[in-house]
Amino acid sequence: MGRIKKFRLFTGSMLVAAALASPVLQAQETAKFALFHDFTKVYTFVADEISQGQRDYVTLINEEGGIKGYKFEALVRDHGNEPQRGIELYNRAREEGVVYYNFFSTPVSNAIVPRALQDKVVLGMPLTGRADAIVGEVFPYVFPMMATYWSQAARILQYIEESEGGLKGKKIAYVHIDSPFGREPIPIVDKLSRQKSFELRTFAYPSPGNEQSAVWSDVRRYRPDHVILWGAGNAQLVSIREAVRNGIDPAKMLSVVWLTETDMKNVGERTAIGIKRAEVVKPGRDHPIIQRILDKVYKAGKGAGPEERVGSSYYNYGVADMVVTFEGVKLALEKFGPPLTSEKLKLGLEMIRDLDTQGFMPPVTITEQDHQGGGYARVSQWDGKAWVPVSDWAAAFQDVVWEQARESAAKFNQTK
């Protein structure tokens, strides 16, 4: 009897010891995020800043003690916008047990989508990749997380409708780079032009968009009421210069998210005062999250890049990507406990309801069906020094966006 008691005591104390030891063990757990970019080819205009924002937020979370005993490591590599290099990085990262992947390049993300679905790993695709991936039933492991290009285009049109008292009879020029990215929103603006009976004409300039003079004299002759700009990087600068040269009022121009402070400085701060853009994250340093980064990361000398960049539009997009992902991590660990896996992270992300970021982002709600996070965006205007919001966060014409997304996702499903 005594022996048995002793044995019980022994095993009991072992269990207690194990229970006590496990949080200590957990504290050493590291989860890896693959935050790959195209630093060298096409996305150079944005990769540096977004990557810096992502890494700084990861550092911030680690500095603040991690989440539920987890610390995080960001793997940062260059894939040069080449799918085959992206696939190599993906396979390598899979061997390292990465839980979250973000390639920040449309061609590479699109090549990874079928693999991520097959391997059941979370692929974050904010502001890149296929716009129909918002359909959670068809793309269970793909998370666009922020308003897609379709929702941005819809938001821009809604802004015009609100500020002009209707779209009916308006002439809208859609000027875009002739690439899949530039053509992507056309079905949405086209559908809305029929629904809202405004006149739409599309103007394509050849990629990479360094020469657009012929297109813009066409746009001038068309005499549009509003011009929607759909380009990125240097093409945007050329567009603005040509538009101004052709006497188009900058206040009538609205751009996709890819227009930043740097672009406005390069084109001349006072050249295009009044130009507007779609925005999915608040720019600037005037926010608790950015202040925390400045305090805990940059004061400690652990910043991932030059401090001047902190708070730029693209930098904040990088931070926002991580804010949403870490919320998913937190929810997943709270609900399911360690170890953190990609499958748990997927469920965690789908539990995000009205994520309150104190105005850094619109309220994000991700569900099993909706991987877009609600599709909120707003419009901001360049005042010569900074981007000033001229509208509230809103999700625009989501019925049209979702109809298009479901139709396109159904096609994807057929061929899978």
Partner 1 sequence: MFYRQSGIYHTRYEATRRLWPIPFERWQVGVILLLVLAAPFYLSALYLQSYLLPWLIWSAATLSLTLLMGVAGQLHFGYAAVMAIGAYSAIHLVRFGLPFEFAFLGAGLIAALIGCLFGAAALRVKGLYLVMATLAMQYLVDWLIINVPAISGGAHATLQAPSARILFFSLENDLVRYYFALAWAVLLTVFLLNVKRTSFGRALVAIRDKDYAASVIGVNPFRYKLLAFFTSSFLGGMSGAVLAFCFYRAVTPEQFSFNVSTQLVAMVLVGGLGSVIGAFLGAGFVLLAPMILTNIVAMLSDFGWLNVSVNLLSHLPLMIYGALILGFLLAEPLGLAKIYDNIRNYFLVWPFKHSRR
User: What is the amino acid identity at position 351?
Assistant: M
Task: Kindly give the interhelix angle for 186-195 and 149-164, rounded to the nearest 10 degrees.
Answer: 30
Q: Measured from the CB of residue 1, what is the shortest distance to partner 1 in angstroms?
A: 55
Q: Is 130 in the site for partner 1 (CB under 8 A)?
A: yes
Helices (H), 337-379: 342-349
Q: Is 120 in the site for partner 1 (CB under 8 A)?
A: no
Which residue among 59, 62, 81, 236 contacts partner 1 (CB under 8 A)? Answer: 81
CB atoms under 10 Å from CB of 140, counted, come to 17
Question: Pick from 51, 106, 47: which is nearest to 74 by CA?
Answer: 51
Contacts of 141 by beta carbon, 8 Å cutoff, 6+ apart: 116, 117, 120, 121, 122, 123, 342, 346
Q: Which is nearer to partner 1, 152 or 179 (CB)?
A: 179
Q: Is 97 in the site for partner 1 (CB under 8 A)?
A: no
Question: Pick from 379, 377, 387, 180: which is nearest to 263 by CA?
Answer: 387
Which residue among 66, 80, 140, 363 contacts partner 1 (CB under 8 A)? Answer: 80
Q: In whole angstroms, what is the distance from residue 93 CA to residue 112 CA?
A: 12
Q: Measured from the CB of residue 180, what is the shortest distance to partner 1 in angstroms?
A: 4
- How many residues bind to partner 1 according to rule CB under 8 A? 45
Q: Is 270 in the site for partner 1 (CB under 8 A)?
A: no
Q: Is 406 in the site for partner 1 (CB under 8 A)?
A: no
Q: Is 308 in the site for partner 1 (CB under 8 A)?
A: no
Q: In whole angstroms, what is the distance from residue 136 CA to residue 142 CA?
A: 8
Helices (H), 120-223: 149-164, 180-183, 186-195, 213-222
Q: Is 312 in the site for partner 1 (CB under 8 A)?
A: no
User: What is the amino acid identity at position 224?
Assistant: P
- Name the one range near partner 1 by CB under 8 A: 24-32, 85-93, 215-223, 388-396: 85-93
Q: Measured from the CB of residue 215, what is the shortest distance to partner 1 in angstroms?
A: 15
Contacts (CB under 8 A) with partner 1, residues 314-373: none
Q: Measured from the CB of residue 181, what is the shortest distance to partner 1 in angstroms?
A: 9
Q: Is 183 in the site for partner 1 (CB under 8 A)?
A: yes
Q: Which is nearer to partner 1, 260 or 408 (CB)?
A: 408
Contact 230, 185 (CB under 8 A): yes
Q: Which is nearer to partner 1, 83 or 338 (CB)?
A: 83
Contact 371, 141 (CB under 8 A): no
246 φ, ψ to 5°? -90, 10
Q: Measured from the CB of residue 388, what is the shortest distance to partner 1 in angstroms?
A: 30
Quote the tokens at residue 167.
């779209």
Q: List residues near partner 1 by CB under 8 A.
A: 37, 39-40, 48, 51, 76-78, 80-81, 83-85, 87-88, 90-92, 94-95, 106-107, 110-111, 113-115, 130-132, 178-180, 183-184, 186-187, 304-305, 404, 408, 411-412, 415-416
